[in-house]
């Protein structure tokens, strides 16, 4: 029966093998099989189907999910590809298969969430969910009031205008920024547009989860952190349509504030 079937990318994420985005890539690369056949994108699987990735049998949904807060050092790659030197999976060396929620540049440090729960990854990464991420950034020359104003109001990068965001100067060369979108290398590109070079970038918060451990260490999320996180992301759409980026060429289109501001 069709009601008992699940899209292959959702099945892989709910099994704890990888996120849906990573599952889509694996399917495109022909590394996934269903009953020995390479499926098309969007193919559904049922309880009696045999799903394998690179020949390895993927089991049904896990009940014991892992949620880690990791303080990523500079130089570590946010990839599960263990052929990449300095990948985050080998660095943490956790006894169960886990994967990062989103990315943090190799040259950046700070808060990275790791899990085997593909559903929570899916909800956090949705482009329209407006979840806050907070960073401390150091740049190569003195910060001006005009720099703060222009960073706050949106800049043209990657064929779009960045959303309005909160920016606060901390010192001569350092500022705090709170984003609600995750364009590729967004902060670095925004600074480059204004002729500034980022010399250090540290993420200190994702939604309600704040960085509180030394670099290179990890810990499990507390029950309160996880309960609060689930409560805050619960309204998030889980539909395929919601994963499409919004047309934000007019800039700021409204904002919801989650968690505590670490000011």
In the residue annotation, 195 being an active-site residue is answered as no
* β-sheet bridge partners, residue 169: 175
Question: What is the number of H-type helices and E-type strands within the chain?
Answer: 7, 16
For residues 68 and 84, give the distance between their C-alpha atoms in angstroms, rounded to a whole number. Answer: 21
Q: For residues 187 and 195, is the Cβ–Cβ distance under 8 A?
A: no
Closest to 204 in 3D by CA, of 112, 88, 105: 112
**Set 24, 90, 105, 228: catalytic member:** 105
Q: For residues 62 and 43, is the Cβ–Cβ distance under 8 A?
A: no
Other residues' Cβ atoms within 10 Å of the Cβ of residue 179: 21
Closest to 17 in 3D by CA, of 73, 57, 47, 45: 57
Helix (H, G, I), strand (E, B) or coil at 202: strand
Q: For residues 229 and 177, is the Cβ–Cβ distance under 8 A?
A: no
Contacts of 7 (CB under 8 A, 6+ apart): 42, 43, 44, 45
Active-site residue numbers? 105
């Amino acid at each position: 029966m069709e009601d008992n079937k699940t899209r292959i990318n959702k099945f892989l994420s709910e099994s704890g093998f990888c996120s849906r985005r990573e599952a889509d890539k694996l399917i495109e690369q022909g590394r996934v099989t269903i009953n020995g056949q390479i499926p098309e994108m969007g193919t559904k699987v049922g309880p009696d189907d045999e799903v394998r990735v690179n020949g390895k049998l993927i089991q049904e949904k896990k009940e014991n999910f892992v949620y880690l807060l990791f303080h990523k050092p500079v130089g570590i790659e946010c990839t599960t590809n263990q052929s990449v030197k300095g990948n985050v999976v080998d660095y943490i060396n956790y006894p169960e298969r886990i994967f990062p929620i989103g990315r943090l540049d190799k040259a950046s440090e700070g808060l990275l969430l790791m899990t085997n729960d593909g559903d929570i990854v899916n909800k956090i990464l949705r482009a329209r969910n407006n979840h806050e991420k907070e960073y401390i950034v150091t740049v190569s020359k003195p910060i001006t009031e005009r720099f703060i104003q222009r960073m706050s109001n949106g800049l043209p990068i990657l064929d779009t205008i960045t959303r309005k965001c909160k920016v606060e100067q901390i010192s001569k060369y350092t500022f705090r920024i709170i984003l609600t979108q995750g364009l590729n290398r967004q902060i670095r590109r925004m600074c480059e547009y204004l002729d500034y070079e980022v010399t250090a970038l540290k993420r200190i918060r994702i939604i309600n989860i704040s960085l509180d451990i030394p670099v290179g260490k990890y810990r499990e999320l507390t029950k309160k952190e996880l309960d609060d996180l689930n409560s805050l992301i619960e309204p998030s759409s889980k539909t395929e349509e919601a994963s499409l980026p919004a047309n934000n060429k007019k800039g700021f289109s409204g904002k919801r504030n989650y968690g505590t501001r670490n000011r």
